[in-house]
Amino acid sequence: MNKQYLIAGLCVLTLALAGCGSDDDDSPMGMTPTPEPMPEPESMTFTYAVNITNMTRGQPLSPLAAMVFDGEFQMAKIGEPVSVALEVLAESGDNSQLLDAAMGSEHVYLARSAEGGPLMPGLSQTMTLEVNTGTDSPEGMYIGLVSMLANTNDGITMLSGKDLGGLQVDDTITFETLSYDTGTERNSESADTIIGPAAAGGLQEGFNAERDDFVDELRLHSGVVSFDDGMASSALSEAQRFDNPVMQVEITRMQ
């Protein structure tokens, strides 16, 4: 064969082979194609109905503060001083500072207040919480609830960090909450230092930045003494006495 024709044929074959390859590979020769990014997890909204019942005889409960958070968020702990935001709620019933502080944390998914005024003894109300954690699972999601016992100096009831991860749609869990003394205000029970209706006619002072209690820490509440039980300066009667539990909570997963 003519040597000239042989060389020309080899050149044509080389060019043909260089042009072969997958139609999907547009990367330059010798370079690894960039992998497609993994899809983000599907985001879901989880909906919960929270029904609370005031189990006391004479203690209105201030509008409920509800928070949903991950396992890194800490609510108030027994034996430790409470935050100023919780002190404001415990002495005045105003939950706005507590909710604002919670929403400032990267570990909180939702923080909101129940609508309306105080929940009177024996009554119930339901609030709906719609939570989006950016994932497709409620695992690692917790709920916390706080309310003031209005006919006390600085008493609250609290549900602290209950796990929502195991709830399936239409499942319901029930809790009963205890009463706590935040330890920020002395339990004088006077009409000047209690905001509830039992103190009508007094100054009914709400939040006071001075912490004059004997112990500046959260603890179980010992209850009220009342005028009827010999505390002459008390604005409370035996009707405002309370025992534990003070609030029933039913949480139902709707979606």
What is the DSSP track for 134-185?
SSS--TT-EEEEEEEBTTSSSEEEEEEEEE-TTPPTT-EEEEEEEEEE-SSS
Q: pLDDT at residue 89 above 80?
A: yes
Q: Which two tokens stand for residue 227?
A: 């005028």
Domains along the sequence of the chain with CATH: 45-253 (2.60.40.2130)
pLDDT, mean of residues 206-234: 96
Q: What is the mean pLDDT of residues 198-224?
A: 97
pLDDT in tens, 36-56: 665 555 679 999 999 999 999
Higher pLDDT, 35 or 61: 61
Query: 24 vs 18, 21, 27, CA distance in Å?
Result: 15, 9, 9
| pLDDT for residue 2 | 47
Q: Please give the model's pTM, rounded to 2 decimal places.
A: 0.83
Taken in order 5, 8, 14, 20, the sign of the CA dihedral is: negative
pLDDT in tens, 231-255: 999 999 999 999 999 999 999 999 9
Asked whether residue 136 carries a pLDDT value surpassing 70, the answer given is yes
**Confidence at residue 3, expressed as pLDDT on a 0 to 100 scale:** 45
100 three-class SS: helix
* pLDDT number for residue 43: 75
DSSP state of 229: G
CA–CA separation, 25 and 63 (whole Å): 62
Instruction: Answer whether residue 14 shows pLDDT above 50.
Output: no
Residue 22: predicted pLDDT: 45
**What rounded mean pLDDT belongs to the chain?**
89
Q: How far apart are CA 88 and CA 83, in angstroms?
A: 9
Distance CA 132, CA 102 (A): 16
Q: Is the pLDDT of residue 175 over 80?
A: yes
Mean pLDDT to the nearest integer, 75-97: 98
Asked whether the predicted pLDDT for residue 101 surpasses 90, the reply is yes
Quote the percentage of the chain above a pLDDT of 70.
Answer: 84
More confident residue, 114 or 134: 114
Give me the pLDDT at residue 33, please: 66
